[in-house]
Chains A and B, each alone.
Chain A
Amino acid sequence: MNKSEDRDWERHLLDTFALNTDFAAKRIELSDQLVHVYYFVTLVDLPGTLASMNQSLMSANDGNVPLQHLSDLYQIDSNAMPEELAHLLLQGRLVVRSPHTGEPLIFKALEPSISRSVMPPENESPIQGAIDGFTEDLLTNVGLLRKKINHKDVVVVTHAVGSTFCREIALVYLKGKANPKIVQTVADSLIRNKHKDVRHVEDMLSVLGQPKISLVATYLATELPEEAAQNLMDGRVVLFMDQLPYAISVPAILKDVWTLKTDFNYPFLYLLFFRFIRMIGIIFAVIMPGLYVVLNSVNPELLRIQLAISVAKSREGVPYPAFIEVLLMLLVLEMVIEATTRLPKSIGPTITMIGGIILGQAIVQAKLVSNLLIIILAASTIANFTMSGYLNTIGIRIYKYVVLVASAAFGILGLEMSVIWIFVYFAGLKSFTVPYLSLSLKGTKTDE
């Protein structure tokens, strides 16, 4: 075989990555043979890889053909097409031309240290629970999850999706616990939409066939392996995307709005108490702003006369209707939330102070809004964040406005109808064959 003659796949690789300075095609000595290797210097630590290969060759018994021995240890079983070879290179693999057949061999390689190590989660703060969080690396994440759930029935299936933008997605479920219908639906849609590019979580949801517009998230995202393990135990399917430090569990049901899996680390009575508080929080967050408008401008006769007078007094001198007042303040509040979310930690408290103390105090003294409204809005915003899961809070934050508008138009009846409407919406919502309005994923048991 002529060594200088390039194979088709080699030419394809060289063409594809011709412009990249970090793409390397080299000839190296591997187990006393000169071989061609292709890799990205930024993704592969070649000296380290070679050193470890030599070390494993030294420990090998002499009977084996050296390259064969290396293949046994490092090769990934893959009959790759040229396009797939490119994806594999981008995932940090080492492609070696077999000196005998000229076919590509794909070897695992050491990475230069560009991944962060396992650290406590950034956006979730577990109390009384394990504090390791997921990282960007897919295999590390699956490993973390496996460590949390030592169960022989855990099944991990990895899919590579995307045509121009390859992304690995791992599908994890617990055989026997997970509803086979859900597993089948998820696996089918991953295979069927193999060619779709998955850049964000939203892309993945569209791969999974979820509605594009939905008030509540039909999945749970968590940074905590412990939560993800409990989700598996509940019969959910957990999905990992490479380079996303979150485990995505599907399907989500109504109960997830007020339950956290780490609740189980507490005595039962405390768990009940936490969940009760969260439920009350949800009710507060949804109806408080609407109720304020109802009691102020549409149905003041509902209140006892003393209370009605004190409510009216607090609004003395406020120049616009209660609805506008609430809407304005809610918008300001949303902006404060949005502004503080991603600010550097050193500036965040400043905004809180400006927003909370200066704006809140000044706006009341200037008679632009009533004191009572400030109290109500503060209460409903705090209540909003008692819910479990950041994703869930957003749906409620949005729905609050629907309640507000309905209340302004129809008073107490509008408030009631908007609550009924959200129930109808939930009742009609299904994610992965499971109705959203269920309290359990097991069997057909469906409740509130």
Chain B
Amino acid sequence: MNKRMVLALFIQLHLAAILSLYATKILESTNSGHWEAILIACLLEVLLAWLYLSGLSAFPGKHIGEIIREAAGAWAARAILLPFVAYIFFYLVLQNRYQIVKINIVVLPSTPLWAVLLLNMVLPFYAACKGIHAIARMGLALFITFMPFVLFSLFISYQNFEWRNIFPIWQPKLTFVAEQPFYTSLFAFSGFLFLGMLSLNKPVKLRKLGPSMLLVAAFGFASVYVPLLIFGQETAIRFQYPVTMASDTIDLEWVVFDWLPTFSVVSSSALGMIESSVLLWMAMTLVRKLYLPLPDKWLAAILSIAMYICSMQIHNVQTLNRFFSMNAALCLYSMIILPLTLGLSGWRKRRTTS
């Protein structure tokens, strides 16, 4: 797997998260100075990614499970990584549910949810069985084919921007830090964790990730500010899908298509597909290496079916939101404890070898 593929996957994983629930959560967490919340999350990711990567670089060719097992023993590794696996799995469930509801509302109002979910289950299963290298190649291919749609759907509504909606621009008290939605929104920046699963012989350097992180941050800003500039805080906060709604505010003569939110849904579901494939592959690999040594295909099948059943159990948007908030605890654990553990093991290994 080469650098370009890793970077493309890195960007796509973030983008998939950003285009889903991120904007809603940021809009909920504060009513002014949204950029501060986004910026803080970005800086937090840079810091944690630095720790994480510095730990990884001490163990070339190994993935996170092996590293922790080497540093702390097999049972400790299982205990430390259990919340991470749970996080990945529930994230998969919730993202898929979120996706299919959006698809159902925008493009397929008469198709039953279970059928759409079936599609969302089968493709990631197929991709996860092929392995991360295949997923990375596919990611690059989709990056080239679907990125224009992402950009198109995100920025097409620029003519409706009301620049005065940007005010108040300054929020001196950082009140969002005390708000629960802010912590839920952090899941969008947990994408760096997949780097630990790749077992790269030459671990990625933070410097190399820089441009991609800037791009991700730019998309983070765009996904919040596009609906904010069009609708203003008071209206935008009422939407379940602010980014998709934003692309519905314009009418372009030169496009043959009339129903422009379709582009938004098409692009975000393609990204969602990559995200699901990667998440499923991560969960599958971790479970196989640490808990249950079954063949990949079996594990992937079990996990996808479990995902399908769990997703079907969520009956409405309120429950979905509640689960997202609950999953935030697991997310924070994975985002903070894992980089710390890795950073520490890396530091210890460097000290003992030198």
* Chain A interface (Cβ < 8 Å from any Cβ of B): 298-299, 301-305, 307-308, 409-414, 416-417, 419-421, 423-424, 426-428, 435, 437, 444-448
User: For window 102-151 of chain B, which residues contact chain A by CB distance below 8 Å?
Assistant: 103, 107-108, 111, 115-116, 119, 123, 126-127, 130-131, 133-138, 140-142, 144-145
A448 and B256 contacting across the interface, CB-CB below 8 Å: no
Nearest A residue to B119, CB-CB: A417
Q: Is the CB of B2 within 8 A of A413?
A: no
| Contact call A424/B259, Cβ cutoff below 8 A | no
Residues of B within 8 A of A421 (CB): 123, 126
Question: Is A416 a contact partner of B266 (Cβ separation < 8 A)?
Answer: yes
Are A427 and B138 also in contact (CB < 8 A) when A301-B258, A304-B258 are?
Answer: yes
Contact A307 B256, beta carbon cutoff 8 Å: yes
Question: What are 25 A-B pairs at a CB distance below 8 A?
Answer: A299-B107, A299-B262, A302-B258, A302-B259, A302-B262, A303-B257, A307-B256, A410-B116, A410-B119, A413-B103, A413-B108, A413-B119, A414-B119, A416-B266, A416-B269, A420-B270, A420-B273, A421-B123, A424-B126, A424-B127, A426-B138, A427-B137, A437-B140, A445-B2, A446-B140
Question: B266–A304 contact, CB under 8 A?
Answer: no
Q: Chain A residues near B2 (CB, 8 Å)? A: 444-446
From A305, A417, A423, A444, contact of B138 by CB (8 A): A423
Whose C-beta in chain B lies nearest to the C-beta of A416?
B266
* Least CB distance, A418 to chain B, in whole angstroms: 10
Complex-state Cα separation, A437 to B1, whole angstroms: 13
Instruction: State the CA gap A424–B132 with chains docked (Å).
Output: 11
Q: Looking at the assembled complex, report how far the CB atom of B276 sits from the nearest CB atom of chain A, in whole angstroms.
A: 11
Query: Whole-angstrom distance between the alpha carbons of A339 and B115 in the complex?
Result: 39
Say whether B305 faces chain A, with CB atoms less than 8 Å apart: no
Chain B nearest CB, measured from A440 CB (Å): 12
Task: Give the interface of B toward A (CB within 8 A).
Answer: 2, 4-5, 103, 107-108, 111, 115-116, 119, 123, 126-127, 130-131, 133-138, 140-142, 144-145, 256-259, 262, 265-266, 269-270, 273, 277
How many inter-chain residue pairs (CB < 8 Å) link A and B? 98
Within the complex, the shortest CB–CB distance from A174 to chain B, in Å, comes to 25
Judge whether A413 and B258 touch: CB under 8 Å: no
A-chain residues with CB within 8 Å of residue B136 when the two chains form the complex: 427
Closest chain B residue, CB of each to CB of A438: B137
Pair B107/A412 contact, Cβ less than 8 Å: yes
Inter-chain CA distance A305–B258, complex, in Å, is: 8
Tell me whether A417 and B259 are in contact (CB under 8 A): no
B134 and A428 contacting across the interface, CB-CB below 8 Å: yes
CB-based nearest A residue for B136: A427
CB atoms of A410 and B135 under 8 A apart: no
- Besides A302-B258, A416-B266, A416-B270, 9 new A-B residue pairs in contact (Cβ under 8 A), listed by A number: A299-B107, A304-B256, A413-B108, A417-B123, A426-B137, A427-B134, A427-B138, A437-B138, A446-B137
List B contacts of A445 (CB < 8 A). Answer: 2
Q: Determine how close the nearest CB of chain A comes to the CB of B9; give it in whole angstroms.
A: 12
Residues of B within 8 A of A423 (CB): 138, 141-142, 145
Least Cβ–Cβ distance between A167 and chain B, in angstroms: 35
The answer to whether A424 touches B256 (Cβ under 8 A) is no
User: Which residues of B lie under 8 Å from residue A409 when comparing CB positions?
Assistant: 115
**With A302-B257, A448-B140 as given contacts, are A412 and B262 in contact (CB-CB < 8 Å)?**
yes
